[in-house]
Amino acid sequence: MAEVLDKVYDPQRIENKWYEYWEAQGLFTAQADGQKPPFAIVIPPPNITGFLHMGHALNNTLQDILIRCKRMQGFDALWMPGTDHAGIATQNVVERMLAQEGQDRHKVGREAFISRVWQWKQESGGTIIKQLKRLGCSCDWSRERFTMDEGLSRAVREVFVCLYEEGLIYKGDYIINWCPRCQTALADLEVEHEPTDGYLYYIKYPLVDQEGSITVATTRPETLLGDTAVAVNPEDLRYLAYHGATLRLPVLERKIPLIMDPHVNPEFGTGALKVTPAHDFHDFDIAQRQNLPAVKALDEEGLMTEAAGKYQGLDRFVCREKILKDLKHDELLEKTEPYSHAVGHCYRCRTVVEPMISKQWFVSVQTLAEPAIAAVQEGRIKLIPETWEKSFFDWMTNIRDWCISRQIWWGHRIPAWTCQECGRVIVTREDPTSCPTCGVADLKQETDVLDTWFSSALWPFSTLGWPEDTPELRLFYPTSVLVTAFDILFFWVARMMMMGLHMMKEVPFREVYIHALVRDPEGQKMSKSKGNIIDPLELMNRYGTDAFRFSLSAFAAMGRDIRLSEDRILGYRNFVNKVWNASRFTLMNLGDYDPAREDDTPLSVVESWILSRLQQVKTEAVRHLETYAFDQAAHVLYQFTWHEFCDWYLEFIKPQLGNGATPSERHHTQRVLVEVLSAILRLLHPFMPFITEEIWHKLPGARGSIMVAPYPTPDQALHNPAAEAEMGLVMESIVAIRNMRAEMNVSPAASVSVLVFSQDRSPMEILEGHQQSVRLLARVQDIQFQPAGNPPAAAAKSVVMYSQGGSLDLVMPLAGLIDFKEEARRINREMDKLSRELAQAQKQLANEDFLSKAPPEVVERERERHQALTEKLGKLKSHEKRLRELVA
RNA sequence: GGGCGGAUAGCUCAGUUGGGAGAGCAUCGGCCUUACAAGCCGGGGGUCACAGGUUCGAAUCCUGUUCCGCCUACCA
């Protein structure tokens, strides 16, 4: 017979083929016609500057599993894809390109720069999408969106104007985080605090009108140039005498007051705090309370301002050194201590950020946060696993206003205009041409753009067509589930809740599945700087996409980070190959199979058993997928496919497919085999889409893609405990015989016979009915069944218990074949184990409390166990005794 | 400082209302048994971090301790 499949599965050969096929057939496209129940997921939009990393790979594999499963289950499944314009990140990329050409954005100008970014997006922005396709993602590409496309930009504008009109967006002077390199404000979340080794400098501020000085401690001496006070705790006795004093700011000689503020911690440093309202969050608050002026000592480029006097124009870090030198010279630097503290860095470029007072746009989040908190509390949005709820509530209740303006060019430009004549601010849906107050046409648009997360916050409804009233929006909003890692829970998820609830009056998604982070084999977070990045594409090339996907799902245990282990991926690569070869075997035996032929042969016990087990597996797999226990779903399918279907079922049915079988037997066996394999392929398809599709098309009677074949559902009528018990006995007997052979070092070629003794009719008859399988799978030449009799002493012996009652003695006469001492050792090992278990059971049953308080079924089970152990141990003991006599 | 998670076989990890400790890999022994050596068969290996408590019964629930990891925070 011609080879139906190659001997080894070659992923590269077929992956592209099937992806193109799926796309060409339009199988990813949601109908949105209301004919089927909806199921929708919006993708966390990857940055257009992005390349597929492990986090993407895991996140999108899990989404694809869910969406493929739901699609097969008959839902109108929409996986809404798209990309994020990633303001700062993208602008940085294009600016770097310009730099290489000796240009910068200011020379080029705003409009030309923006079209340059669009051009870059056109040429290089699609990489991540190609990589998602490589991963097999079944996104509805016909609906792909981009946060800067026309529709989404309209949504952004609409939301901005609405919130502004409601007074929920305002512009104000406020202290924000400023990145001197990116030249923009950053939201609190965009600042990463990294522990940094620095120094704590103790600086003396001389008193005016009296002797002495007050010493303050700081990590940033250059900011003293912006100091407008020194604060001490009102309770701090050490400074009681100085209340109301005036101090002389070192170097600048400016006079500043000593004030009292309860926020100062007397325990830290000297208990005296220099107050720099323009460059410190804490100090800003103090200044607000105490009506202190703010002096801006640093400018937007991180250079010292005019207020810094002779230090004007110096870089902040150069200035720090200079000031220290001058302080030393003036003998005002008391001491310097090494000090490690958290320093804020720009999450995009790693530059040390500078807190700075600035005029920015804010979203007032308090009123938006409350409905989001309520939605989670009331269970209208479920966070899975629930453990995240606590963090969520903590964050949401302490949330500060969201700074949404960014001083960059790439993004949604804030739709606000200022009349140059009367100063009126105009925020409208359509670009204004003249001032509604004074009528002049001299209007200037805000130059800032919006934080990228502003547009992503609208993603669940903006991608569905809002503000238009589209069929998609009506059908798919609220979406079913959001799949994401916890690192963007606050950046993105919380904001989607706020915006969705406010604009749509309805939650954006009903469930949020929060998966783990992928770490390197040592448990470290993967990062460019550590150089420990593992490239998912490389793993796909090496092991195949299906194996890679299956690995990720098998790793995805709830609430625990993933340590990437290549050994395990290799193991799942082998599993994929196993599926391939089981299918290969099946197809090799289907040459003459006619699916249309009638089959009235009843199911054999083996078939009843495998079908019964299959129903159980279907139930478990679906249950695990519905609770996002991807690892358990994968595990159940792995175990069943490999260790039940391949290891046992296929071996059992080989004779029924061989020459000895009648045509109708053979046909019947083929029919059931195809049925089971078909179910396995469909169950596995969401995890390993490519290989299952390839095999699916080779199955007899193949019709269309496996993607739209029904996902298996359990058939209770096939549940068959009797067949499972019966096959349990058969398999245990085979294992027992194999064990005796292996342990006794009986060569596989050696011919052995087995005698089966038992007083119990039922297990005896069962095994007798399966003697062909026993012969074949345990490599036994001759097998005899004896209700009673005297087994030979020169033999190995095993006792197999039948779960429905009774037992079998399997005796392998081995005169001349074995060393009896060896058999005695084997028996003793087993008896030891049994004795220990028996002792345990005895202790339990001797315990009055156990008997009276434990549930009756537990007690009953313990009794049965005790009896079985006693019986088995007794039989082995007498065998062992006879062996001893024989040796003696 | 606050919060969260983890500690189970040599390694990576499961263990779903508390009721006979599991998988994969590794290891040891034996097999080219006509789907698969990326395979088949069999074996060995664990005081479930430590100390208490609740319970007839604890890897599982409670308290405390130790050691890791993460998130968060304005102690300058």
Average pLDDT, integer, range A62-91: 94
What does the radius of gyration of chain A's CA atoms come to, in whole angstroms?
A: 37
| Predicted pLDDT of residue A645 | 96
Task: Label residue A394 by pLDDT band (50, 70, 90).
Answer: confident
Distance A569 CA to B26 C1' (A): 15
Judge if ipTM > 0.90: yes
Total residue count of chain A as it appears in this document: 888
- Asked if strand B contacts A341 at the CB level, meaning under 7 A, the answer is yes
- Asked if strand B contacts A584 at the CB level, meaning under 7 A, the answer is yes
Three-state secondary structure string covering A265-314: CCCCCCCEEEECCCCCHHHHHHHHHHCCCCCCCECCCCEECHHHHHHCCC
Task: Label residue A529 by pLDDT band (50, 70, 90).
Answer: low
Structure tokens at A547: 């194996």
Distance A541 CA to B48 C1' (A): 38
Q: Pairing mode, if any, of strands A229-232 and A255-260?
A: parallel
Distance A486 CA to B3 C1' (A): 15
Closest nucleotide relative to residue A587's CA, C1' based? B35
Distance A504 CA to B48 C1' (A): 50
Residue with the larger pLDDT of the pair A764 and A821: A764
Tell me which residue of A455, A637, A879, A777 sits closest to A69, measured CA to CA: A637
Nucleotides of B under 7 A from a protein CB: 3-6, 11-15, 19-20, 23-26, 29-33, 35-44, 55-57, 68-76
Q: What share of chain A is helix, strand, coil (3-state, %, to 5)?
A: 50, 20, 35
- Which residues, in sequence order, are CB contacts of A283 under 8 Å at separation 6+? A273, A274, A275, A276, A277
Q: How many CA atoms lie within 13 A of A457 on its CB side?
A: 26
Distance A859 CA to B61 C1' (A): 22
pLDDT at A195 over 80: no
In the 832-871 segment of chain A, residues within 7 Å (Cβ) of strand B are 837, 840, 847, 849-850, 853-855, 858, 861, 865, 868-869
| Predicted pLDDT of residue A475 | 95
Q: Nearest residue (Cα to C1') for B41?
A: A738
Tell me which residue of A795, A758, A754 sits closest to A879, measured CA to CA: A795
pLDDT at A60 over 90: yes
pLDDT at A606 over 90: yes
> Interior CA angle at A777 toward A636 and A677, to 5°?
40
Distance A445 CA to B22 C1' (A): 66
> How much of chain A, in percent, has pLDDT values that exceed 70?
98
Alpha carbon distances (Å) from A738 to A281, A329, A745, A798: 74, 90, 10, 11
State the Cα–Cα distance between residues A708 and A73, nearest whole angstrom. Answer: 9
- Asked if strand B contacts A269 at the CB level, meaning under 7 A, the answer is yes
DSSP string, A603-655: PPHHHHHHHHHHHHHHHHHHHHHHTT-HHHHHHHHHHIIIIIIIIIIIHHHHH
| Predicted pLDDT of residue A816 | 66
Residue ranges in A109-248 assigned as alpha helix (H): 110-124, 127-134, 150-165
| Predicted pLDDT of residue A45 | 94
Residue A107: which region, alpha, beta or left (left: phi > 0; alpha: psi -120 to 50)? alpha
Task: Label residue A881 by pLDDT band (50, 70, 90).
Answer: confident
| Predicted pLDDT of residue A817 | 61
> How much of chain A, in percent, has pLDDT values that exceed 90?
44
State the Cα–Cα distance between residues A53 and A56, nearest whole angstrom. Answer: 5
Residue with the larger pLDDT of the pair A819 and A640: A640
| Predicted pLDDT of residue A22 | 96
Structure tokens at A353: 């950020």
pLDDT at A1 over 50: no
The tens digit of pLDDT for each residue in A196-242 reads 777 889 999 998 888 888 899 898 899 888 899 998 888 888 888 88
- Asked if strand B contacts A280 at the CB level, meaning under 7 A, the answer is yes
Closest nucleotide relative to residue A582's CA, C1' based? B35
| Predicted pLDDT of residue A745 | 81
Phi, psi angle pair for A785, to nearest 5°: -110, 125
How confident is the prediction for chain A on average, in pLDDT? 89
Q: How many CA atoms lie within 13 A of A310 on its CB side?
A: 7
Angle between helices A605-626 and A630-639 (to 10 degrees): 170
Range picked from A19-23, A702-706, A813-817 for highest mean pLDDT: A19-23
Asked if A677 and A583 count as a contact pair (C-beta separation under 8 A), the reply is yes
Q: How many CB atoms lie within 10 A of CB A304?
A: 24
pLDDT at A637 over 70: yes
State the Cα–Cα distance between residues A286 and A281, nearest whole angstrom. Answer: 9
Alpha carbon distances (Å) from A787 to A325, A735, A807, A809: 103, 22, 12, 10
In the 478-507 segment of chain A, residues within 7 Å (Cβ) of strand B are 487, 490
Q: Which helix (H) or strand (E) holds A547?
A: helix A545-555
State the Cα–Cα distance between residues A653 and A665, nearest whole angstrom. Answer: 11
Residue with the larger pLDDT of the pair A65 and A823: A65
The tens digit of pLDDT for each residue in A397-423 reads 878 788 898 888 999 999 999 999 898
State the sign of the Cα–Cα–Cα–Cα dihedral A786, A787, A789, A792. positive
In the 34-93 segment of chain A, residues within 7 Å (Cβ) of strand B are none
| Predicted pLDDT of residue A82 | 95
Closest nucleotide relative to residue A830's CA, C1' based? B43
Residue A32: which region, alpha, beta or left (left: phi > 0; alpha: psi -120 to 50)? left
pLDDT at A3 over 60: no
- Asked if strand B contacts A750 at the CB level, meaning under 7 A, the answer is no
Alpha carbon distances (Å) from A106 to A111, A113, A155, A403: 10, 9, 29, 24
Residue ranges in A83-166 assigned as alpha helix (H): 87-100, 105-108, 110-124, 127-134, 150-165
List residues bridging with A418 in a β-sheet: A425, A444
- Asked if strand B contacts A567 at the CB level, meaning under 7 A, the answer is yes
The tens digit of pLDDT for each residue in A689-739 reads 999 999 999 998 778 999 999 999 999 999 999 999 999 999 999 999 999
